[in-house]
């Protein structure tokens, strides 16, 4: 586990602990109002365990040769870059507090993201040159627009579920090189490609929120975010090409502080 991940998870744990202590301390305060507009900030951690699939292809005349290269173990069929990192941003929303103890609302957030990961692998196939394969996977930023529905288990404590639209900028890069002989046009396999852009998807999750004081609340939240799939075909300096493909399915845990205007 990286130092950054340990720090982020420790911060989340400390925040959750403070969350419980402060909420308990405020249990005797005047009944708070959860209705109205709010704005806030958050920090947390995100991780993605999805693999990058790799598939070589070529012209029919070279298919038997490519089959021999694949059978020798020259190229990995999938690589796991284990993208992860710190996230942080802001949120704004509006709640309606119902007499029955339910609170419903909408929330939008925008996050800077350090979720990234890379993986390199060197293969030493028998009868063929040594190869080096690398992939990198990143989420540069993301946001959500969600509905929220929760229940006040206590006037100070709201437990809620949330879900809706997710969007963000994802990127994927790939490179292949011949370690033994270097990159010789039409002789050794070398190539690279990168692609990025904004993708839309969906998110679902839940959390718990407590009123710290009039107008201020603290929340701990988990979101599962699906930003779809990114694929491309990378050309090399030979008639052999590589298709790379990966799904962006992120898990995030964060704590946030909100200011309520009403």
Q: What pLDDT does 173 receive?
A: 97
The model's pTM: 0.85
| pLDDT for residue 240 | 93
Helix (H, G, I), strand (E, B) or coil at 256: strand
* pLDDT digit string (tens) for the chain, length 262 residues: 554 455 445 545 444 444 445 444 444 456 888 999 999 999 999 999 889 999 999 999 999 999 999 999 999 999 999 999 999 999 999 999 998 999 999 999 999 999 999 999 999 998 899 999 999 999 999 999 999 999 999 999 999 999 999 999 999 999 999 999 999 988 899 999 999 999 999 999 999 999 998 899 999 999 999 999 999 999 999 999 999 999 999 999 999 999 999 7
Q: What is the pLDDT of residue 245?
A: 96
DSSP 62-115: GHHHHHHHHHTT-S-SEE----EEEEEEEEEEEEEE-TTSEEEEEEEEEEEEEE
The ranges assigned to domains in the chain are: 3-28+35-260
Which fold, 3-28+35-260? Porin (2.40.160)
Identify the pLDDT of residue 87: 98
Measured CA to CA, the distance from residue 90 to residue 256 in angstroms comes to: 8
Q: Which of 143, 141, 140 is nearest to 108 (CA)?
A: 143
> Where is 170: in which H helix or E strand?
strand 157-178
């Amino acid at each position: 586990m990286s130092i950054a991940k340990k720090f982020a998870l420790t911060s989340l744990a400390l925040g959750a602990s403070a969350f419980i202590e402060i909420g308990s301390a405020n249990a005797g305060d005047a009944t708070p109002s959860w209705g109205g507009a709010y704005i806030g900030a958050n920090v947390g951690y995100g991780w993605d365990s999805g693999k990058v699939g790799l598939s070589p292809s070529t012209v029919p005349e070279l298919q038997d040769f490519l089959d021999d290269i694949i059978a020798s173990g020259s190229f990995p069929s999938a690589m796991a870059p284990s993208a992860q990192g710190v996230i942080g941003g802001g949120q704004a929303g509006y709640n309606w507090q119902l007499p029955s103890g339910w609170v419903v609302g909408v929330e939008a957030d925008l996050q800077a993201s350090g979720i990234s990961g890379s993986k390199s692998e060197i293969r030493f196939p028998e009868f063929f040159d040594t190869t080096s394969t690398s992939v990198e996977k990143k989420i540069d930023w993301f946001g959500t627009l969600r509905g929220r529905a929760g229940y006040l288990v206590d006037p100070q404590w709201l437990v809620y579920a949330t879900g809706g639209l997710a969007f963000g900028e994802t990127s994927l890069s790939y490179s292949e090189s011949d370690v033994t002989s270097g990159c010789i046009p039409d002789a050794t396999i070398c190539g690279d490609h990168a692609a990025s852009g904004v993708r839309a998807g969906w998110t679902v999750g839940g959390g718990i929120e407590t009123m710290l004081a009039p107008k201020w609340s603290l929340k701990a939240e988990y979101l599962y975010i699906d930003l779809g799939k990114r694929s491309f075909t990378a050309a090399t300096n030979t008639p052999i090409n590589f298709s790379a493909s990966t799904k962006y399915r992120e898990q995030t845990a964060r704590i946030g502080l909100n200011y309520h205007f009403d």
